[in-house]
């Protein structure tokens, strides 16, 4: 049986990539909300469309943060993250530079 070694930086990169994929799924959800029948069903159920999207996004973020914490990654607050290459949708999903793995 082989021994797999994962570096924290690699795990953080996987989580960031998953967050990007989530943004793509969010785009599909927004397109679905353009469906008049679906929108009518949501309205009848009293579910605001923007709340539905926020709940989806929050669930994905909390899941990714939980996985990061399980690997010992410390999340960085969005206000601390001043990286121009990071899309606003990823704010709060970055992790502090992990100590060098030995």
87-97 per-position pLDDT tens digit: 555 555 565 54
pTM of the model: 0.60
- Per-residue pLDDT tens for 4-17? 777 888 888 888 88
pLDDT category at 85 given cuts 50, 70, 90 is: low
For 70, how many CA atoms within 13 A lie in the half-sphere containing its CB? 8
**Average pLDDT value for residue range 5-34:** 81
Q: Residue ranges per domain, the chain?
A: 16-90
User: Rounded to the nearest 5°, which phi and psi values hold at 23?
Assistant: -60, -35
């Amino acid at each position: 049986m082989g021994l797999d070694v994962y570096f924290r930086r690699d795990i953080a990169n996987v989580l960031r990539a998953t967050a990007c994929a989530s943004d793509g799924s969010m785009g599909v959800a927004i397109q679905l909300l353009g469906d008049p029948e679906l929108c009518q069903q949501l309205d009848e159920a009293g579910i605001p469309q923007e709340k539905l999207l926020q709940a989806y996004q929050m669930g994905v973020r909390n899941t990714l943060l939980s996985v990061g914490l399980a690997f010992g990654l410390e999340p960085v607050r969005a206000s601390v993250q001043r990286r121009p290459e990071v899309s606003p949708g990823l704010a709060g999903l970055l992790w502090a530079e992990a100590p060098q793995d030995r």
